[in-house]
Amino acid sequence: MSTDVESARSSQPTPEYSDELHAEVLEDLRIGEHGYKYRLVEGIVMPPFITPSRYALSRTIETRPDDICYNGYPKSGTNWLANILVRLVNQGEAPSDRTLRDSVHWVESSIEYPRSKAELDAAPSPRIFHSHMPFHMALGGDPLGNPCRYVYIARNPKDVAVSYFHFESRAPWAGQYDGEWPHWLSMFLGGKLQRGDWFDHVLGWWRHRDAPNVHFLRYEDLLRNFGAELRRLGAFLGYDLSDDVVRAIEERTAFANMKQDSFSNLREISELSHFFRKGVIGSWKERFTVLESEWFDEIYRERMRGSGLDFDFV
Ligand code: A3P
């Protein structure tokens, strides 16, 4: 069985990122320090592949009541959440004829299975959308004014910064960025990385966490208390999950299994061949010096003050 499934799943490798293929308006591209490539969309730093036409489509798409859009700042566990959601709406199973990234729609992006408006309109429900946008740039326009359900995942920003450094160093869509870690950290804290300022991104969604169509979860809670978090997510989406389905989803989406499963290992996307790095809480300690950590903590305390949101760093 696995041989047929393997070949079906691996039959559509996505092309590597190139400006010519994926950036649409090349004149918009900017190059920052250490070659960091980006474009500005509504004044926010974005990857070159968030093109004007894809972004416009993502903002104007007509959403349905059973649509699900998962979202998060990059490196917050969004692909893990994708696997959970795809299985949640399908009794714990994964589709046999496609990969995880092919099972979701990434509308704002011109790479990885970009679908036309007609294809999106024809896609069967429940449609699951992948997004990394701040609240005010969300898929479907104003989240509070359309029926889509939004699931936002946030992760402690020290681990995000380190994971993002590994992910974008030398990445073609980031201009082969070649800065060292201290430079990257200053870019992160200065809101200069693609998708903009982490604090604005997370707090923008957090402020709307009690809206009936917004569900906010933390990566660390999912790691520590998977069953309870999954049931909370299921209840939000209107799925009553049996113990067997909860167990199946927990097992199949565990880091080690996702990494080797042809459905979820993202191997068809060559740039993501090292995607599964650690999948733990606290890997920031490998990079941060004591001084950097103290600097970070000071800014974190200041920016998070009064929000009621906190994270687990160890
Ligand atoms: P690390 O680089 O710290 O390992 P995103 O999907 O938003 O890009 O996030 C990627 C991060 O989530 C990476 O973090 C990756 O290893 C981690 N991750 C992926 N699958 C995971 C899983 N099943 N459980 C826990 N973490 C996972």
Over residues 101-151, the pLDDT tens digits come to 999 999 999 998 899 999 999 999 999 999 999 999 999 999 999 999 999
| Most ligand 1 atoms within 8 A of CB, residue of 255, 272, 285, 311 to mutate | 255
Torsion angle of alpha carbons 222, 226, 231, 237, nearest 10°?
40
158 touches ligand 1 (CB under 6 Å): no
Shortest-distance Cα residue to atom 17 of ligand 1: 279
Shortest-distance Cα residue to atom 14 of ligand 1: 279
Say how far apart CA 101 and CA 103 lie, in whole Å.
5
77 touches ligand 1 (CB under 6 Å): yes
Which atom in ligand 1 lies closest to the alpha carbon of residue 253?
23
Q: Ligand 1 mean position to 276 CA, how many Å?
A: 6
**Is position 208 annotated as part of the catalytic site?**
no
What is the full per-residue pLDDT of the chain (314 aa) written as tens digits? 333 444 455 446 777 899 999 999 999 999 999 999 999 999 999 999 999 999 999 999 999 999 999 999 999 999 999 999 999 999 999 999 999 999 999 999 999 889 999 999 999 999 999 999 999 999 999 999 999 999 999 999 999 999 999 999 999 999 999 999 999 999 999 999 999 999 999 999 999 999 999 999 999 999 999 999 999 999 999 999 999 999 999 999 999 999 999 999 898 887 777 789 999 999 999 999 999 999 999 999 999 999 999 999 99
Which atom in ligand 1 lies closest to the alpha carbon of residue 81?
6
- On whether the pTM is more than 0.85, the answer is yes
Shortest-distance Cα residue to atom 12 of ligand 1: 77
37 touches ligand 1 (CB under 6 Å): no
Which atom in ligand 1 lies closest to the alpha carbon of residue 79?
6
Give which of 98, 150, 151, 143 is closest to 124, Cα–Cα. Answer: 98
- 3-class SS string, 93-136: CCCCCCCCHHHCECCCCCCCCCCCHHHHHHCCCCCEEEECCCHH
282 touches ligand 1 (CB under 6 Å): no
Are 206 and 216 in contact by the 8 Å Cβ rule? The answer is: yes
CATH architecture, range 2-304: 3-Layer(aba) Sandwich (3.40)
